[in-house]
Amino acid sequence: MSKSLPYAGRIHIYSAPIALTQHIEWAINQALGQVISFSWINQPLNPGSKAMVFEYKHHLSVAAKITTALKAWHFIRFEIREVNKNTQDATYYRATPDLGLHQAQLASNGDVVLNENQVNSILKNSLSYEKLQANLENALGISWDLELEPYRLALATPILDTVSKIG
């Protein structure tokens, strides 16, 4: 494990208006502290939009900073996963124009992990079975997965060939 670059992340921009691609690049470059060129491809599900995947390694946790910048542009669909290689703790951010931002902690197998405070809050605010189910689904990010899955599938083959990497 690298002591100098303990954080590794993967950014998926599933859909972004062409006019925002340069702004997205600037935001990511600013967070990473270096200038990187990205390989954008057309998003077949959303004409006029582009998509890309980018992997990074960094000495600081930068996913929250990148997420904050990206969520400011309402029309972007994205996911960012960042792992602390020393602890194996992972943070997962995803956003869509309709649902907004979702943040979760991940287990090593990719499952969303709910902490004790989240579970207690869900139980406290769930006065019916339906409300409990809705609150759990929201905490797990089920709606985000359902909205992003078609975009993941549409890009599964072409984007694997164009992953940009640094670090």
pLDDT digits (tens, 9 = 90+) for 59-74: 999 999 999 999 999 8
Is beta strand 164-165 parallel, antiparallel or unpaired with respect to 49-58?
parallel
**Tens digits of per-residue pLDDT, 117-156?**
999 999 999 999 999 999 999 999 999 999 999 999 998 8
Identify each DSSP E strand in the chain by its residue range: 7-17, 41-42, 49-58, 77-84, 90-96, 100-106, 112-113, 164-165
Residue linked to tokens 């072409």: 158
- How is residue 102 annotated by DSSP? E
**Tens digits of per-residue pLDDT, 74-86?**
899 999 999 999 8
